[in-house]
Amino acid sequence: MVTSGRREGPQQGWRSIVSRIGIPIGKGPAEIEYDHDIAKINKSLRYRKTVGICAFKGGVGKTSMTMCMASTVAAHRQEPGVVAIDTVARGSLALRVPGKQPAGGSVQALAHDPNLHTISDVRAHLMSNPHRLSVLGSPRDLNAEPLIPEEYLQALEELQRHHEIVFVDTEPSTATPAYDTIIESLDALILVVNPTHDSAVPGSEVLPWLRERGLTELASRTLVLLNCQSPAKPQVDEEAIANHFHNTEIVELLKIPYDPHIAEAGPISLALLDKDTRRVFVRAAAILLDMLPANS
């Protein structure tokens, strides 16, 4: 029986420096925990998965959280195939990607394209960022009609032919035509709230709303991101918000610290995030993938 063998040495901090000069040393607790999170992100999924990002209030940073979460999963999964789509009327998801949005770069355009025979035909509608994330935006035309259920389902079907995980940036209003269809298509949900009264109160209503609609399983597969958009002291008690979701709703909550790069509201690059911010997103991605059912 093999009882020993070569193992990867530390890759982070002072331990990596010691290891590179030939002194045998193991990984520290923080790096071991990081490796475990990366392993969870690489969980094998037998079926395609759809993850929604929602907020019952606009202006909470939902689109930035969509890009950061989807980019983190795309960057760390060994298998490619992660796409984020914008179902918000005149949404800004495409503005979080370097480059120009294609003329047909929207969910509606993809849904109505009669010539989708290969992955190249689908890619003609997509943008991409340096983290291997594909992005499908929404129409920028001020006269564009809201997304309808049939368009969403058709676009989702086409994307899932070539992508393993679809992240869906949703409307802040549940009254939009496709909202119910989108919510019912999800395997997991990311709820974004701010440490402000006008965000925390609507945020606390989301999970009861899901359960009232019979989506109890989706409510249990919800991850809450407490997104701190300002470096100023929060208006409300963050601990009270965390306790509500942890102890009352029994779901995971992670605090996303204020980050100057996210605050720019431009194209997102994980490399430009603060180190601590990047680490929280890796942890959040690990929790998300751990929640997803592997075989259903």
- Whether 20 is covered by a domain: the verdict is no
| DSSP state at residue 244 | I
For 67-124, the pLDDT digits (tens) are 999 999 999 999 889 999 999 998 999 999 999 999 999 999 999 999 999 999 999 9
For 244-281, the pLDDT digits (tens) are 999 999 999 999 999 999 999 999 999 999 999 999 99
Q: In what order do the strands lie in the sheet with 222-227?
A: 127-128, 133-136, 82-86, 165-169, 49-54, 188-193, 222-227, 252-256
What's the rounded mean pLDDT across residues 144-168?
A: 96
What is the number of other CB atoms lying within 10 angstroms of the CB of residue 137? 27
- Whether 175 is covered by a domain: the verdict is yes
Measured in whole angstroms, how far is the alpha carbon of residue 146 from the centre of its chain? Answer: 23
- Whether 110 is covered by a domain: the verdict is yes
Residue 23 has pLDDT above 70, yes or no: no
Confidence of residue 8 (pLDDT cuts 50, 70, 90): low
Residue 87 phi/psi, 5-degree rounding, is -100, 10
pLDDT score of 1: 37
Write down the pTM of the prediction.
Answer: 0.90
What's the rounded mean pLDDT across residues 44-65?
A: 95
- Whether 38 is covered by a domain: the verdict is no
* More reliable by pLDDT, 43 or 20: 43
Q: Determine the structural domain holding residue 140 and report its residue range.
A: 43-291
- Whether 282 is covered by a domain: the verdict is yes
pLDDT score of 3: 40
Spatial separation of the C-alpha atoms in residues 153 and 102, rounded to whole Å:
21
Q: How many domains does the chain have?
A: 1
- Whether 254 is covered by a domain: the verdict is yes
- Whether 28 is covered by a domain: the verdict is no
Which CATH number do you get for residue 117? Answer: 3.40.50.300
- Whether 5 is covered by a domain: the verdict is no
